[in-house]
Amino acid sequence: MAEVAAVGKTEEELKEAGVKYKVGSFPMRALGRSRASMDIDGFVKILADEKTDEVLGVHMIGARCADLIAEAVVAMEFRASAEDIARMSHAHPTFAEAVKEAALAATDDRALHV
């Protein structure tokens, strides 16, 4: 069963406000842990300021998203950048790797497993 979780701004809100942003998205089906548990539906998407890289919103659909969103909430509370999240250790194989992969995708399209 897929879960849905989000924090911060949506793409529509950023567009309406005229904020320039970048998007990093990672499909759950590319994640080893998702494939092992057959929970391959969903994605993690990170929206970051185009200039400063500060995380402005995180949206996710998939297994364990109700748990995974906590990392995004903490990151946004401390005004972290997508690069900050990308550099943090994320155990393998876990669902949390999807957050790291989305952050890597938001920073110069550097996702490892796509």
Provide the terminal-to-terminal Cα distance of the chain, rounded to the nearest Å: 23
Judge contact between 40 and 87, C-beta under 8 A.
Answer: no
Is 92 assigned a catalytic role? yes
CA distance 41 to 38: 9
Place of tokens 């185009």: 50
What Cα–Cα distance (Å) separates residue 74 from each residue in 14, 41, 57, 67, 85?
20, 25, 12, 12, 10
State the residue for tokens 């998205």.
25
Catalytic (active-site) positions: 92
